Amino acid sequence: MKATSKVRKARSKAQEEVRFEGREREYVYAVAMKYLKDEDEAADVAQDALLNAYRHRASFRGDSRFTTWLYRVAATTALMHLRKKRRARAAFPAADLATDGDPADLTADLASGGPSPEDEAAAHEALALAGKRLSSLGDKYGSIFKMRFADGYSESEIAQELDLNVATVKTRAYRARAALREEIAQAA
């Protein structure tokens, strides 16, 4: 029997024997706690990590210890949870909540009929300023910014449409966004 077939059999046997007993569960929970520092979130992430590990057990090649692979699965799951949480915070900033953080106040604000006239005027002024700044950037940056952020095209779609590299599109979109951010910050 060749050495490669022995390795394949050992790998398939290792994949079949993937079990999550108390020790592995505690290990994954400890990894999640290391990243999240919250028991409830760590328990949720540990559950997700174990589920991911079970679903992707075929990717465990057996080159290293099982706990090393399990650590990577748990750490990646915890980091993805943190990233998702950060995105949610950016979408609903805490500054918009009332000082006591009461959800009833938030729903009252949402039901109040929209932004105040002052907010609308400020938004209109910012849009006018952004439009002026975009036109001064020229087609090189302005068209990419418009396609990316106003029209909702992906970077790969813009690259295909304009016959550019995706990296070029990303760079130009970033530079246009930075220029607009700087212009709006100076105006404020």
pLDDT of residue 97: 46
Residue 107 falls within a domain, yes or no?
A: no
> 86 and 17: one domain?
yes
More confident site: 106 or 63: 63
Residue 50 falls within a domain, yes or no?
A: yes
Which is nearest to 149 in space by CA: 119, 120, 179, 122?
A: 179
> 138 and 69: one domain?
no
How far is residue 141's CA from residue 179's CA, in Å, rounded to a whole number?
A: 10
How far is residue 43's CA from residue 117's CA, in Å, rounded to a whole number?
A: 45
More confident site: 174 or 149: 174
Q: Could you read off the pLDDT of 61-105 as tens digits, one per residue?
A: 888 888 899 999 999 999 999 988 887 776 665 544 444 555 555
Residue 111 falls within a domain, yes or no?
A: no
Both structure tokens of 56: 């992707």
> 135 and 79: one domain?
no
Residue 60 falls within a domain, yes or no?
A: yes
Residue ending a domain, choose from 38, 56, 91: 91
pLDDT of residue 12: 52
pLDDT of residue 175: 87
CATH number at residue 175: 1.10.10.10
Residue 102 falls within a domain, yes or no?
A: no
* Under 8 Å between Cβ of 81 and 73: no
CATH number at residue 31: 1.10.1740.10
Which is nearest to 170 in space by CA: 151, 152, 154?
A: 154
Number of domains within the chain: 2
How far is residue 38's CA from residue 7's CA, in Å, rounded to a whole number?
A: 41
How far is residue 160's CA from residue 118's CA, in Å, rounded to a whole number?
A: 41
> 8 and 84: one domain?
yes
Residue 104 falls within a domain, yes or no?
A: no
Residue 156 falls within a domain, yes or no?
A: yes
Quickly list H helices, 138-165.
139-145, 155-162
- What range defines the domain where residue 173 resides? 117-187
Q: Could you read off the pLDDT of 43-52 as tens digits, one per residue?
A: 999 999 999 9
Residue 182 falls within a domain, yes or no?
A: yes
